[in-house]
Amino acid sequence: MFREWVRDSFVRLAANPDYYQGAPAVDEVVIRFVADAAVQWQGLQTGEFHIAIDVASVDWPAIEADARFVLEQGPSGLALVSALNNRRPYLDDARVRRALNYAVDAETIMEVAYGGGFTIGTFMEAGSPWLPDFVEPYPYDPERARELLRAAGVPQGWTLDLALPQPFEPHIVAGQMIQDYLSEVGVTAQIRVVEWGVWLGEVFGGPRDFDVTVIGHTGKLDASGRLNGYGHPERTYSGYDNDEVAAWIDRAGVITDPEMRRSLYAQALARLHDEAPFIYIGTPFTTFARSSGVEGFWITPLLDTFDLRDVTLP
């Protein structure tokens, strides 16, 4: 049960003694917001924290080598993308957007920036029951990227504004790698690191002041939660404009026939692959470290929520 919230600091929860499966073993849980991964690891070592979520991959070997801790991994519900502002010159051309997908080695980005996971080829997390099995990730093919850029008339040295959200270090590392990959096909990406509040207000919302960005979209149980608004350029930060895709998604969101909904979403996801309003990156693992005496904690796939019902402490 909710007890207390301090903005940018913590949330305090209390056990519900009347929970239908029985009262939890732990009376109180405090969830602290710690942006610095090094501070997370230090907190585990000092005993300040029992569990640390999304620990930095550089700390994994030390955690695994220390018998006091256990490193856990499982599937997440994130769809990691490098969003493209489809309103901008050249980025309004699907050939250019496909070229940028071919230019980027998503598999290497997943390994280096996010510590592993699965690549994706459309706007849906890997492992989702809504993901059509006929949609494959873009292969890394810089020569094909160059051909498409030439065909679209993109000048050599074309410059893009790459806005990266702080304090999300994996997204910043991914952005730096994308910058390097794009330079190999003649595209210059100028990195601009922005605070999270600014990113929300000016990139994701407001004036949508960016050419390219990197972000992870959290998991949804239903495809409508991921796709609603896409195809309507005024309703999404990418500005993707496709009346047919918008109609498929809108229709799927209001009907109840499961097979018809699945078919409509599959058509939309296939078109989102082909027209590429994003550079598709992947779905990372959820990685957390816990003190070895802590048992019963898990993070639910798809929604990335904390399951605290069966947690016990030493």
The per-residue pLDDT for range 186-202, each reduced to its tens digit, is 999 999 999 999 999 99
Considering the entire predicted model, what is its pTM?
0.88
Domains annotated for the chain, with CATH where assigned, are 2-74+286-307 (3.40.190.10), 79-284 (3.10.105.10)
pLDDT of residue 56: 81
Give residue 75's pLDDT: 82
- The low-confidence residues of the chain, meaning pLDDT below 70, are none
Q: Is 13 left (phi over 0), alpha (psi -120 to 50) or beta?
A: beta
User: Looking up tokens 């026939």, which residue turns up?
Assistant: 257
Q: What are the pLDDT digits (tens) for 126-142?
A: 999 999 999 999 999 99
**How many whole angstroms separate alpha carbon 115 and alpha carbon 109?**
9
Place of tokens 């050249």: 90
